[in-house]
Amino acid sequence: MRIRVLREPAERERRVALVPRGASTLSDVGHDVVVTAGAGTAAGFPDEAYEGAGAVVTADPGPADLVLAVGPVTVDDVGDTGVVLAFLDPLGSPGEMRRFAEAGITALAMELVPRTTLAQSMDALSSQATAAGYEAALLAASRLPRFMPMLMTAAGTIPPARVLVLGAGVAGLQAIATARRLGAVVSGYDIRPAAKEQVESLGAKFVGGPVAETAETSGGYAGEVDEETRRRQQEALAEAVADSDVVITTAQVPGRAAPRLVSREMVERMKPGALVVDLAASTGGNCELTVPGETVDHRGVSIVGPLDLPSRTAGHASDMYSRNVVSLLGHLTDDEGALVVDPDAEVAASGGVTEDGELVYDRVRAALEDDA
């Protein structure tokens, strides 16, 4: 099978979908790996490294059976191929999905790989969220015009920074762990009841607030919450936010706009010099004032909406993504190395968006019909 590794089209994207080690694994099992020149440079993997791993590096790679990318990518980006595997954001851009279907390209979305115990090695959402959570905490620490840890020095006692993490999924938990490592006093909050124990298992405090038994959908995701819960949430969080030096928000609901957790009023009650880091910026942000990709200063409080967090640790993030991809391909290929997308096998079924020129993912179809 001819596998092409894309040079990422997005401007700030520094990651690469396959690292040289992954390329060599795939070559070893008989695939032809073709890498667009310069694809890995930004992540610290020079073209020579790919060549050393048995891949062909070329500026114009031509047609392929499978295109690998981090994403998101369009039909134009992938060119002539049978299958594309990337973060495709199918729910965010259903139109693009239809275009894949029309072009006869089977689209596999990394974000649709199920979040089960079994599939964890293919779970790129988790691996990239790990990087994002870690970088979010570091970003907060270096942007903050104060120390994170407590320091009792001859020049006075510096109290520890208070960090509040809203949304304790993979990224949130990693942010909690990293901020705790730096010595901050950390609390966390999530709508899912199971999150309390998980937050506390990292030595952080759980902020009392509404949790909804029903909030956890199958697969561990949170669902959307009703208006009443939202109101009680805001009340409960208002104090905690005002007391914090750093608020890191990571709350997401798959396929929906990010829940609005931090309002303008809440920001206004924060101390000057305080910081909000919004990891949900790409889906609209958990903070009312977030501008995706930019830093807003509101009455002395900075609201950062970074879009490139995993790219900030591009080397390891690509490494993990690449392993996820290789592991997934291991599941999707048969003994001869041909790709078999079997809609009944759980892993593939949930990853597939289009197949044989058809949209097979209900929610995308639904989204398109809504539009129409």
Partner 1 sequence: MSDAARDLVYLAAAAAFIIGLKRLGSPRTARSGNLIASTGMLVAVVVTLLDLEIIEWWALVAGLVVGGAVGVLLALRVQMTSMPQLVAAFNGFGGAASALVAGAEFIRLEQVELPVETILTMILSVVIGSITLTGSFVAFAKLQGLVSGSPVTYPGMRFVNGALAVGAVGLVVWAQATQEPLAFWLAGGSALLLGILVVNPIGGADMPVVIALLNSLSGLAAAMTGFVITNSALIISGALVGASGLILTKLMTEAMNRSLSNVLFGAFGGGDSGGGSAAETGDATSTSADDVAIALAYASRVVVVPGYGLAVAQAQHALRELMTELEARGVEVAYGIHPVAGRMPGHMNVLLAEADVPYDQLLDLDQTNNLLPRTDVVLVVGANDVVNPSARDDAASPIYGMPILEVDKAATVVVIKRSLSPGFAGIDNPLFYLDRTKMLFADAKKAMTDLVSALETV
Ligand X SMILES: NC(=O)c1ccc[n+]([C@@H]2O[C@H](COP(=O)([O-])OP(=O)(O)OC[C@H]3O[C@@H](n4cnc5c(N)ncnc54)[C@H](OP(=O)(O)O)[C@@H]3O)[C@@H](O)[C@H]2O)c1
Instruction: Write out the residues near partner 1 by the rule CB under 8 A.
Output: 116-118, 120-121, 126-127, 130, 149-160, 170, 173-174, 177, 180-181, 183, 185, 197-198, 200-203
Q: Does 282 bind ligand X (CB under 6 A)?
A: no
Please identify which residue in 219, 273, 293, 357 interacts with its own copies, judged by CB under 8 A. Answer: 273
CA distance 72 to 157: 47
What are the residue numbers of the active site?
Answer: 115, 120, 123, 126, 221
CB burial of residue 192 (10 Å; 0-12, 13-18, 19+): buried
Per the DSSP assignment, residues forming a β-bridge with 311 are none
Please identify which residue in 70, 186, 191, 303 interacts with ligand NAD, judged by CB under 6 A. Answer: 191
Contact 71, 87 (CB under 8 A): yes
Contact 237, 207 (CB under 8 A): yes
- Positive or negative, the Cα torsion across 145, 131, 307, 269? negative
Take residue 360 and report the two structure tokens written for it.
Answer: 């097979």
Minimum distance from residue 155 beta carbon to partner 1 (Å): 7
Give the one entry of ligand NAD, its own copies, ligand X, none that residue 183 binds, where binding means its C-beta sits below a cut-off of 5 to 8 angstroms depending on kind.
Answer: its own copies
Q: Does 47 bind its own copies (CB under 8 A)?
A: no
Binding residues for ligand NAD restricted to 85-144, rule: CB under 6 A: 115-117, 120, 123, 125-126, 129
Q: Which range binds its own copies by CB under 8 A, 30-38, 86-94, 309-317, 361-369?
A: 309-317
Contact 89, 110 (CB under 8 A): no
Q: Does 220 bind ligand NAD (CB under 6 A)?
A: yes
Take residue 126 and report the two structure tokens written for it.
Answer: 């988790």
Please identify which residue in 27, 121, 263, 282 interacts with its own copies, judged by CB under 8 A. Answer: 121
Which own/partner contact pairs does 233-239 have at CB distance under 8 Å and 24+ positions apart? 233/191, 233/209, 233/261, 234/261, 234/263, 234/266, 236/207, 236/208, 236/209, 236/210, 237/166, 237/189, 237/207, 237/209, 237/261, 237/262, 237/266, 238/265, 238/266, 238/269
Applying CB under 8 A, which residues contact its own copies?
A: 14, 43-44, 46, 120-121, 123-124, 126-127, 130-131, 134-135, 138-139, 141-142, 144-147, 149, 151, 153-156, 158, 178, 181-183, 272-273, 300, 312-316, 319-321, 323-324
Applying CB under 6 A, which residues contact ligand NAD?
A: 115-117, 120, 123, 125-126, 129, 166-172, 190-192, 195, 220-222, 225, 250-254, 259, 261
